[in-house]
Amino acid sequence: MVISCSYLLHVHADAWQRATVHPFLTGCKEGSILPAQFNTWLVQDYLFVKDFTRMLGQILGFAPDHHLDTLLGGLVALKDELLWFQAKAAERGLNLDAPRQSICQQYCDFMAGLVVEPYPVQATALWAIEYAYNQGWQLPGPMAEPYTEFADRWGNPGFTDYVNVLAAQADEVLKVASPHTQTLAATTFLRVARLEESFWQMAFNAA
């Protein structure tokens, strides 16, 4: 049997639902999210994205030639995204030198550990991490101000296209991966789903 991104979404539909549909996001849509909750997410996600950028930099070292262009596009977008996080934090008077909360630290450790995994596992993780935010911010529909720009950042059509290419790239290498690597990719997908759910809950708990 050959696994693919759509297969993983199908067999782990419940875990994926919990990763992408959360009261935090409903709270942004309805404008009922509390400043402490949103600001906790903003600071912790900045700390996450810094390490996510490092993870993508590592993955680049394993990617086949024809995947480089898409991955480099992702890195360019992250350059802009890190500056955007800094601007959003400054607007809100938030200190980005905060320590990582436990779940953020676990997620960052997980990403750093991907360096020892085969490329199909890395490609699956990269797709899942990006697709989680693409879906999470898009599914609720239009959000209350000032959250529309946050929803747009990960829900916009260009980002959706990027995530679809990441899925195609992961599928391409999963198709020729060993059964062991495919099993590892499935485990990794589930781990991403659980970390995503916990990350939303971490911010939500800041109330």
Nearer to ligand HMH, 82 or 184 (CB): 82
Distance in angstroms (rounded) separating the CA atoms of residues 35 and 112: 30
52 is a contact residue toward ligand HMH (CB under 6 A): yes
Locate all alpha helices (DSSP H) within the chain, ordered by sequence: 5-11, 13-20, 23-30, 35-60, 68-91, 102-113, 119-138, 148-155, 157-174, 179-204
Residue among 9, 22, 45, 204 that touches ligand HMH (CB under 6 A): 45
Residue among 108, 111, 129, 174 that touches ligand HMH (CB under 6 A): 129
Nearest Cα to Cα of residue 202 among 38, 12, 14: 38
CB 55 within 8 A of CB 71: no
What is the phi/psi pair of residue 100, to 5°?
-70, 135
Residue among 48, 110, 127, 147 that touches ligand HMH (CB under 6 A): 48
127 is a contact residue toward ligand HMH (CB under 6 A): no
132 is a contact residue toward ligand HMH (CB under 6 A): yes
147 is a contact residue toward ligand HMH (CB under 6 A): no
What contacts 93, CB < 8 A, 6 or more positions away?
Answer: none
202 is a contact residue toward ligand HMH (CB under 6 A): no
197 is a contact residue toward ligand HMH (CB under 6 A): no
Nearer to ligand HMH, 88 or 182 (CB): 88
